[in-house]
Amino acid sequence: MIDDGTGLFTIGELARATGLTVRTIRYWSDEGVLPPVGRSAGGYRLYDTACVARLELIRTLRELGLGLEDVHRVLAGERTVAEVAATHVAALDAQIRALKVTRAVLSSVARRGSSAEEMTLMNRLARLSAAERQRIMAEFVAETLHGLDTVDPDIQERMRRTAVDLAENPTPEQVDAWVELAEMLQDPEFRAQMRRAVEFNAADRAPGAPPGRSMWFARRLVELVAPARERGTDPAAPEAEDVLRELFGDADRTAVLERMTAGFNERVARYRELLAIVNRQPAPPHAEDFAWVVAALRARAGR
């Protein structure tokens, strides 16, 4: 406090009293958030005890990460501390989410030994918004179903409801899965493969057939195959023929194999597995049952 009986402080005295630097206090004063109450005879800025309290509030708000514009609005009474804090919390949440994605991407890059090109792609895909990720899936489904009105309605509904729900703080494994899934969804070869599977479904469904036939077949397959697998029945063994006959009757095994491999193969299985990882869901059930049927059909194809 200067010795002129006014009870006012110079910037140097404020600095000593608060532990802040003269440079910081001068900067805040220049920016208008700590205006002086007057000037000394020598032209030095002077501050009163209210300025000391104001300075403590400014320091607190700045330590919490608020910009000077928000600090000025609080001090001017244009916004309450609570309002600014709520806005800042939302901004911090967004930053934290972005940092978690960054960490997951970098962890994945380090683990995979990715190239610069792969890292760039991974980072771009990982930062897509939820709407952008769902748009990629919706375009894939729309192309797969386009013009195939006779596809089992239950299958159509299940495909259109397929979600891509990457967590806000994904693990490196989830980032890996989403990147691989996104690449698969945009792969013309995989798109054509899924289209063939759906075309078979449309061709096999009789006009006016009730919905759900495809789902019924899947349940029936599991009912028949699971016990055979549990008994250790080899797909190539003669006993496997009984299961195939129950499922397909006397239909040509080569034609049936073509339809089965279109909808149940390694890439399709991987697609479903990736969806489960991204959406934090259990692994798709019964994949081994379908693989067993395909193996049994392959063992008999062309006989």
Residue 168: per-residue pLDDT = 78
Those residues whose C-beta lies under 8 Å from the C-beta of residue 273, and which sit 6 or more positions away, are 283, 284, 287
Gap between the Cα atoms of 31 and 33, Å rounded: 6
Percent of the chain whose predicted confidence (pLDDT) is above 70: 96
pLDDT band at 78 (very low <50, low <70, confident <90, very high): confident
What are 226-275's pLDDT values in tens digits?
999 999 999 999 999 999 999 888 888 888 888 888 888 888 889 999 99
pLDDT band at 200 (very low <50, low <70, confident <90, very high): confident
Question: Stretch 157-185: mean pLDDT, rounded?
Answer: 86
Residue 6: per-residue pLDDT = 60
User: Can you tell me which residue has the tokens 């023929």?
Assistant: 241
Gap between the Cα atoms of 43 and 45, Å rounded: 7
Question: Stretch 112-127: mean pLDDT, rounded?
Answer: 75
By the 8 A CB rule, do 300 and 244 touch? Answer: yes
With 70 as the cut, is the pLDDT of residue 1 above it?
no
Gap between the Cα atoms of 155 and 159, Å rounded: 6
By the 8 A CB rule, do 219 and 283 touch? Answer: no
Question: Stretch 125-143: mean pLDDT, rounded?
Answer: 86
Gap between the Cα atoms of 108 and 115, Å rounded: 12
Question: Stretch 178-201: mean pLDDT, rounded?
Answer: 88
With 60 as the cut, is the pLDDT of residue 278 above it?
yes
pTM of the model: 0.61
Residue 252: per-residue pLDDT = 83
Q: In this structure, which amino acid lies at residue 105?
A: V
Percent of the chain whose predicted confidence (pLDDT) is above 90: 20
Gap between the Cα atoms of 104 and 101, Å rounded: 5
User: Can you tell me which residue has the tokens 């805040």?
Assistant: 28
pLDDT band at 3 (very low <50, low <70, confident <90, very high): very low
pLDDT band at 191 (very low <50, low <70, confident <90, very high): very high
What are 24-47's pLDDT values in tens digits?
999 999 999 999 998 888 888 999
Residue 154: per-residue pLDDT = 86
Q: How many CB atoms lie within 10 A of CB 134?
A: 15
With 60 as the cut, is the pLDDT of residue 2 above it?
no
Residue 302: per-residue pLDDT = 55
User: Can you tell me which residue has the tokens 């208008």?
Assistant: 32
Question: Stretch 177-203: mean pLDDT, rounded?
Answer: 88
Query: Quick one: which of 94, 178, 97, 88 has its CA closest to 133?
Result: 178
Gap between the Cα atoms of 177 and 10, Å rounded: 61
**Alpha-helix runs per DSSP H in the chain:** 11-18, 22-30, 49-63, 68-75, 81-112, 116-126, 130-145, 153-160, 172-185, 188-204, 213-230, 240-248, 253-263, 266-278, 287-300
Question: Stretch 169-178: mean pLDDT, rounded?
Answer: 85
Q: What is the dihedral of CA 11, 17, 21, 23, to 10 degrees?
A: -10
Question: Stretch 43-58: mean pLDDT, rounded?
Answer: 88
Residue 60: per-residue pLDDT = 87
Q: What are the beta bridge partners of residue 47?
A: 9
